[in-house]
A = this chain, B = another copy of it.
Amino acid sequence: MAESSEVKVLGTWPSPFVMRARIALNIKQVNYAFLEEDLGAKSELLLKSNPVHKKVPVLINGDKPICESLIIVQYIDDVWSSAPSILPSDPYDQAIARFWAAYLDEKWFPALKGILFAEGEDAKKALVDQVVEALMLVEEAFGKCSKGKPFFGGDQIGYVDIAFGCFLGLIRVIEKFNDIKLLYQAKTPELVKWAERFCQHPAVNGVMPETEELAELAKILIVKMRAANPPKS
């Protein structure tokens, strides 16, 4: 284990974005304290450490707070710079990894989350189609990034693996609720195999939430969301 007595992660267990920080620290074998936040009553430490967004995750290294999950992953890679590296060493490969991570967060995740809260079968189907179509692009990217190796990052879990893999819990919950498959053999065969490898990786398997537990939480969120936004009659 690396020197780490002063490393903390402020987060919540179901958040895919918090998982990113935790997996990156696990890859670097950095010991850290995980401080579970109650988002209904955020801690003083969270409000002080992320005064702009007041969101998790925050990584605190000594007295330095770092916010935003992908920025945290990059920071962890830079500070604990011994192998295994999270970002590729080649600048072009790095740019491609950043491109896909940004694509997932900005274009793909909003559609994925939309399925969870969508009302009406047509709206839901349109989002499912959009998500599956995007996954086919990610499948293609997997071929290019992995170059025949098990992960986007090659032999090891890298930046895109972390960025994408953290959504696998949510993907499973959505598949379960809707009795559909988003990642499936016919359309994204490589990602199906990759997802299994990712979840079994020692840096991941203590961090990835159980589908059942996540599904229970999602049910509560959906009820709350619908109560706050009743359907228009």
Contact = CB atoms under 8 A, between A and B. Distances in A.
Contact of A71 (B52, B78, B102): B102
Contacts of A66: 92, 95, 99
Contact of A98 (B61, B64, B71, B94): B71
Interface in A54-87: 61, 64, 66-68, 71-72, 74-75, 78-79
A137 interface: yes
Nearest to A137: B52
Interface residues of A, number: 21
Interface string A102-139: 11000000000000000000000000000000000100
Interface string A175-214: 0000000000000000000000000000000000000000
A142 B103 CA distance: 29
B71 A91 contact: no
B68 A94 contact: no
Contact of A75 (B52, B61, B91, B137): B91
Given A52-B137, A92-B64, A92-B66, A99 B71 contact: yes
Contacts of A72: 95
A98 B91 CA distance: 17
B103 A75 contact: no
Nearest to A92: B64
A92 B67 contact: no
A198 B61 CA distance: 33
Nearest to A75: B95
Contacts of A79: 91
A233 B147 CA distance: 57
8 contacts: A52-B99, A64-B92, A67-B99, A68-B98, A68-B102, A71-B102, A74-B94, A79-B91
